[in-house]
Structure 1
Amino acid sequence: MALPVRDQVKYWSIASVVFLGTVWLLGDVMLPFVLAMAIAYMLDPIADRLEKLGLSRALATVVITICAAIIFLIIALAVVPTLVRQATDLVEIAPQLFEDLQAFLRKHVPDLFNENTQIHQSLMQIGETIKSRGGELLSTALSSVMSLFNVLMIMFLVPVITFYLLMDWDRMVEKVDLMLPRDHAPVVRRLASQIDRTLASFIRGQGTVCLILGAFYAAALMLVGLKFGLVTGAIAGALTFIPYVGALVGGVLSIGLALFQFWGGETMVDGETVMMSTDWLRIGLVIGIFAIGQFFEGNILTPNLVGSSIGLHPVLLIFALTVFGTLFGFVGMLIAVPVAASIGVVARFGIEQYQNSRLYTGLTHDEQARHKASNDTDDQ
């Protein structure tokens, strides 16, 4: 006999509070385990496919690990140094970018720079902040990253944990299934299957879209000669994970950098003032790159790799990332997508149950007739 609903709600509520409290207390201690679990989840279909080809689970895990190590080394040696250098240069040049923007606006929109206006005061304050805090911000960010992703975790801990999780993934799923409450096991399995499909289509599919778009943007922007093409493409590709945000931020950043680099103006060469013409072709190419990227994302990549409906509304995703990131830091952002997917599936299940309940449908015609007859009898 199942426990009363009130007791079940109480126990599951306690379990949820304990889970969230553990995440909040342990924080960065859980980070390598959360990262390893996310990586193992993404690689599990590859391991399953290799098993179907005749490899054992252990051998499939070894093959995946070796391939991942080779790819990581190639990226670390070929891409990361350039990416770090461009990011550093971009932060250093930020004050000059702001000053050039001021000069452009002062020339074309002089009213914005009336010293008595609030806009002028705000712009000046932003400029001073960038000048005084730009280097400090980069230093803080890099130190935070190094403290977060320390060498031990990157080079040893996460790969080792991922290896063991990937090897035992199917057995762990079976163990969890055996621990489900027997009365609710079929419903929990159905909800878990829906959550898995949502996560698979979003994380694996959208992750692939991010990699493809990031590589395309970075390569194309560098080919047209944009100085910070690699870091701009990486930012645009990474933010594509959040619908519409990647295109907006990446497009604004790259077009702004293109205007800064290719816009004509006066410059000093050997003590003489030289007028430089605006390179409209390259500015147009930068705009065209993002237009092409958005076309392929919306019409080819997302429909084929992610699907037309994944059950994760952009507003729900952004809300989950904001809340969990604020409460639990980087670990919270990692678990935000699974939590958002779970909430979406459970919410749809709750709506389905409500629409099949008496509260929504009311009484049938026969039940209404019997109810009316019963009331008439009582009145007599």
Structure 2
Amino acid sequence: MNSKIIANGILRALGILAAIALVLFFLYKIQSVIVYIAVAAVISLIGRPIVLFLRRKLKFNNTLAVIVTMILFVGILLSLIGMFIPLIADQGKNLALLDFQQLERNVDDLYQQITTYFEFNNIDVEQSIKDSNLLSKLDFSLIPNFFNGLVSGLGSFSIGLFSVLFISFFFLKDSQLFENGMMIFVPNGNEMRSRRSWNKIKDLLSRYFVGLIFQILILFVIYTIVLLIFGIDNALVIAFLCALLNLVPYVGPLVSGFLMLLLSMSSNLGESFSAVILPKTTYVMIGFIIAQLVDNFFSQPFIFSKSVKSHPLEIFLVIIIAGILFGIVGMIVAVPAYTAIKVILKEFLSEYKIVSKLTKGL
């Protein structure tokens, strides 16, 4: 091997590395566009059964079915915004007139009631809380800053929302658009199997995301009923936030439980801790646990077995591994990514025993 061949090999390797670096840099710069496309793809998968229903059952043409579906999505979005905007407006008005010293005194009063209650029951927690110096670290002036940041982000959110809706419309209108784009990267001779894999993935993920919508809806209804029964303020908003957090497997329910506990207690500030706050919060948390039991033993097994055709233990291990490797984002995308990988393996590597075992139900 002469020096010229070695030099050409080195130059080719450097060229490949430079091209990879440029592609990664380009993807980094357009990461917001990639997120828009990903969200639009999810929306199109959720809307696909609706479009098919309108076309097959009601005999709508494709364009009209897509328009009706998008109007339905926009209506749902406006309903959610309509639910949150009055709350934000009221909170903004309250914050403008809020006496933060009085708020701090109310929190301190709640703290004194809690410690007095536990001391009465021979549970000494006051010293540990004092050692942590927790109350002195609370900065109540951060609350208006948080809402100011929230308002400043509405501009970029509006641009992103328009982009997602625009892309979703064309994904629904031309269902082959994304598929044809992906086929560019498929080697010759594999187009047919790739198209079969893609159609199977679309079918499974459509059912999976629709199942998630029903899962959130079931939790939302149960949370709302529990919160309304015990007179918790802003019950609809709290129920929706806690149900939405359930999209994050295993971690989401813990966060939503803490959020519901905190908001249930704070909605009764100024009341007696032992007579009002503690009983109400206890009943609310019992309702939260019942909702989680319904979700864990009914909703999730049904979604995993009927939509992505995977055993719950299999899904559990996949989510845990994805969480260790990629964090919260990995836990969220673990099930769709694993489903897509299983379909591709079944189509291209079904002759291997381990693949045939894993993909037996597909």
How does the TM-score come out when normalised to structure 1? 0.65
CA–CA separation in structure 2 for the residues paired with 1:18 and 1:41 = 31
> 109, 114, 128: which is aligned to 1:112?
128
Q: Is the 8 A contact 1:242 1:318 kept in 2?
A: no
The aligned residue for residue 309 of structure 1 is 311
Instruction: Deviation per CA, 1:161-218: give whole Å up to 9, x if none.
Output: 3222211113543564476213444664565466546633543322331233234323
The Cα shift of 1:83 comes to 4.3
Structure 1, unpaired ranges of 5+: 1-11, 267-274, 326-332, 358-380
Equivalents in 1 of 2:262, 2:344: separation in Å? 43
Q: Which runs of structure 2 are paired with 1:1-380 in the superposition (5 Å)?
A: 21-53=25-57, 54-77=59-82, 79-85=83-89, 99=108, 102-104=111-113, 106-107=115-116, 108=119, 109-113=125-129, 119-121=131-133, 123-124=134-135, 127-144=136-153, 146-150=154-158, 152-154=159-161, 156-170=162-176, 172-173=178-179, 176-177=182-183, 180-185=186-191, 188-189=194-195, 192=198, 195-196=201-202, 199-261=205-267, 277-278=275-276, 282-307=280-305, 309=311, 312=315, 313-318=318-323, 322=327, 342=340
Q: Is the 8 A contact 1:97 1:260 kept in 2?
A: no
Checking the alignment, whether the CA contact within 8 Å between 2:319 and 2:335 is kept in structure 1 is: no
User: Aligned partners of 2:37 and 2:223: how far apart in 1?
Assistant: 31
**Over aligned residue pairs, what C-alpha RMSD do you find?**
4.6
Deviations 1:92-138 (A, max 9, x none): 89866763564356544132145xxxx424x24xx534424333233
Letter in 1 for 2:140: K
Rounded Cα–Cα distance in structure 1 between residues aligned with 2:304 and 2:91: 30
Aligned partner of 2:211: which letter?
A: G
Q: Partners in 2 of 1:28 and 1:86 — Cα distance?
A: 32
Q: 1:19 to 1:80 in 2, by over 3 A?
A: farther
CA deviation vs aligned residue, 1:232-285 (integer Å, no higher than 9, x gap): 21221111111233322222222333344458866xxxxxxxx98336653343
- Give the number of aligned pairs: 321
Q: Of the two, which has the highest radius of gyration?
A: 1
Q: Which whole-Å CA distance do the structure 1 matches of 2:142 and 2:278 have between them? A: 33
Consecutive unaligned residues of structure 2, counting only runs of 5 or more, are 1-15, 120-124, 356-362
Shift in CA distance, 59/238, structure 1 to aligned 2, threshold 3 Å: same
Paired AA for residue 145 in structure 2: E
Measured in 1, the distance between the counterparts of 2:47 and 2:223 equals 25
What's the % identity of the aligned pairs?
21
C-alpha distance in structure 1 between counterparts of 2:87 and 2:167, whole Å = 27
**Distance (whole Å) between structure 2 residues aligned to residue 353 and residue 16 of structure 1:** 33
C-alpha deviation, 1:142, in angstroms: 3.6
1: CA distance, partners of 2:254 / 2:90: 21
Shift of the alpha carbon at 1:296? 2.2
Displacement of 1:149:
0.7
SS in 2 for 1:241: coil
> How far off is 1:43 after superposition?
0.8
Q: Distance in 1 between matches of 2:129 and 2:155?
A: 42
Give, in whole Å, the separation in 1 of the partners of 2:113 and 2:297.
37
Residue identity matched to 1:161: I
Describe the superposition over 1:52-80 as per-residue Cα deviations: whole angstroms up to 9, x where unpaired: 22332112112212333333344433x12
Residues of 1 paired with 2:62 and 2:200: CA distance? 25
